[in-house]
Amino acid sequence: MRTPSPAALLDRARSLLVHMHGVERWAYALDIGVRARLEKAAEEAAYALVERDEEGKVCRYEAIGPDGVDSTLVALERSDLGLILVQAYGPGTPDRLRKVIESTGFVPQSQLLRHAYDLAGAEEASKALTALAHMVVAWDEDWTDLFLLHLASPDPVARHTACLATVVAALCAGAREPALTLLQEARSRERFPQLGETLAQAISTVETLPARSG
pLDDT value for 214: 38
In a domain, 34, yes or no: yes
pLDDT of residue 173: 92
For residue 66, the enclosing domain spans 24-104
Domain boundary pick from 71, 104, 137: 104
- pLDDT tens digits, 109-130: 999 999 999 988 889 999 999 9
Residue 133 confidence (pLDDT): 97
Q: What is the 3-state secondary structure (H, E, C) of the chain?
A: CCCCCHHHHHHHHHHHHHHHHHHCEEEEEEEHHHHHHHHHHHHHCCEEEEEECCCCCEEEEEEEECCEEEEEEEEEEECCCCEEEEEEECCCHHHHHHHHHHHHCCCCHHHHHHHHHCCCCHHHHHHHHHHHHCCCCCCCHHHHHHHHHHHCCCCHHHHHHHHHHHHHHHHHHCCHHHHHHHHHHHHHHCCCHHHHHHHHHHHHHHHCCCCCCC
63-81 average pLDDT score: 94
Average pLDDT over the chain, rounded to an integer:
94
- Asked if residue 212 has pLDDT above 60, the reply is no
In a domain, 166, yes or no: yes
Whether residues 70 and 133 fall in one domain = no
In total, how many domains does the chain have? 2
Q: How confident is the model at residue 67 (pLDDT cuts 50, 70, 90)?
A: confident
Question: From CA 60, how far away is CA 76, in angstroms rounded?
Answer: 9
Q: Which residue, of 104, 136, 155, is where some domain finishes?
A: 104
Q: Are residues 59 and 94 in the same domain?
A: yes
What pLDDT digit, counting tens, does each position of 151-171 carry?
999 999 999 999 999 999 999
Q: Give yes or no for residue 38 having a pLDDT over 50.
A: yes
pLDDT at site 102: 96
Q: What is the model's pLDDT at position 1?
A: 60
Percent of the chain with pLDDT over 70: 97
Tell me, what CATH number does 100's domain have?
A: 3.30.310.80
Range of lowest pLDDT (70-74, 155-159, 172-176, 181-185):
172-176
The pLDDT value recorded for residue 3 is 78
Residue 118 lies in a domain: yes
Least confident of 44-48, 53-57, 92-96, 192-196: 53-57
Same-domain status, 141 and 80: no
**Whether 62 and 131 share a structural domain:** no
- Pair 55, 134 in one domain: no
Residues 47 and 73 in one domain: yes
Among 69, 85, 104, identify where a domain stops: 104
The answer to the question of residue 170 being in a domain is yes
pLDDT at 209: 86
Co-location of 128 and 198 in the same domain? yes
In a domain, 11, yes or no: no
User: What pairing do the DSSP bridges indicate for beta strands 83-89 and 58-65?
Assistant: unpaired
In a domain, 17, yes or no: no
Taking a C-beta distance cutoff of 8 angstroms, is the pair 104, 38 a contact? yes
Phi then psi for residue 88, to 5 deg, are -145, 150
Q: Residues 200, 118: one domain?
A: yes
Within a domain: 169? yes
- Do 153 and 184 lie in a common domain? yes
What is the predicted pLDDT for the residue at 120? 85
